Structure 1
Amino acid sequence: MRKLGIIAIVVGIIVIISALSMDVSVVTGMGGRVNNLGLMADRQNYTILGGLFFIAGILMAIFGGRSQGSAVSVGERQCPFCAEMIKNQAIKCKHCGSDVEPIKAEEPVSVRQLSKVYNKDGLVQHWVVALPFSDKAEYVKVKEGLVLTGIPVHSETSSFLRVGPYSAKDEAGRIMRKLMQNSLHGNIEEFWVAPDESVEATSLQSGVCR
């Protein structure tokens, strides 16, 4: 569409220039020249036609370019390292060569995922992402990375920061991929909560930045 718009603009300019350069005068019997009404009308018509081509070309170039840009962005994302556009399924950026995590299409939640799993103590199975750290500097780095991603800390120990809990392991995996895109690495761990706390955990998931 955009290419057609450019062609229409060029054609319109050519028609307008040709119309304005038309000689609308004719030779009289006495050797002079006078303007011919028919030729003047033709010049006016060609000028109007060229103007229509020009305006239509501009509109096609503008709106055709916007729709094309929207179509290109479908199924693409920004590289977290160089900010250039890459495919969602890409594992290496074609621009900077960095390794990136592929993003898979969201799958519908199955009935099995919606059903709760209980242990012998009546606790409900959930999942957390545990992010390890070995010293104070790494602890601060992990904490700052979570703040940037908008994912809240659920709990912490002397060597781990945990986020979650999530009722589905796939959801925890998606969060871990999001964290890896921000240079945060961790492991998915099983986590058991009381049934009434399970509702609170689900509310926490809905508030996580996606």
Structure 2
Amino acid sequence: MRAFGIIAVTIGALMLIGALVMDVSVPAGLGRVNNIGLMAERQNYTIIGGILLIVGILMARKSGSRPPAEADSDTRPCPACAELIKTAATKCRFCGEVVEAVPAPKLKQGWVASIPCRPDEDRSRSEQAVIALGLPVVPMEGFNIAAGPFSTKDEAKAAVKRLSSEHSIYATVDYRDTVSGKFPPLLD
């Protein structure tokens, strides 16, 4: 649909430009006079080009918007009535059916509490501290590890504070992504 909109915008713009540069006069005797037939043709090209341009813009914009609630990642269909409900819901608000809550998906990228480590017992001590706090351990560059990933920077800051206060481990807040190629991929 978006491609048809772009084609319609292009054709409409070309028709408008063509109508603006169209010569509607014809030679007559000592000069030139306007031809009513050519003026009507220019008017038709202008109207059709303008309509195509407007329709094309609307088609291109309409198809660029996201579809309704099915695209929301925090909703799912109710297994009983198929109405959309929140992922964390335990009861359908439409039919009243008790449904099983779906666990949140494991993050592949996000904010982490990054811990610089040496390859010896320093790494294992840091890893045990992260596990003791009940946080997931993720590999970082080299021998470094991290706690996370978290969806917000504040969650990572809280993990840094807990590592520092409860286990005397230095950590920094970093963003661990999946596209830079700097970090090893996380397995499910």
Normalization by structure 1: what TM-score? 0.37
Q: Which has the higher helix share?
A: 1
Normalization by structure 2: what TM-score? 0.41
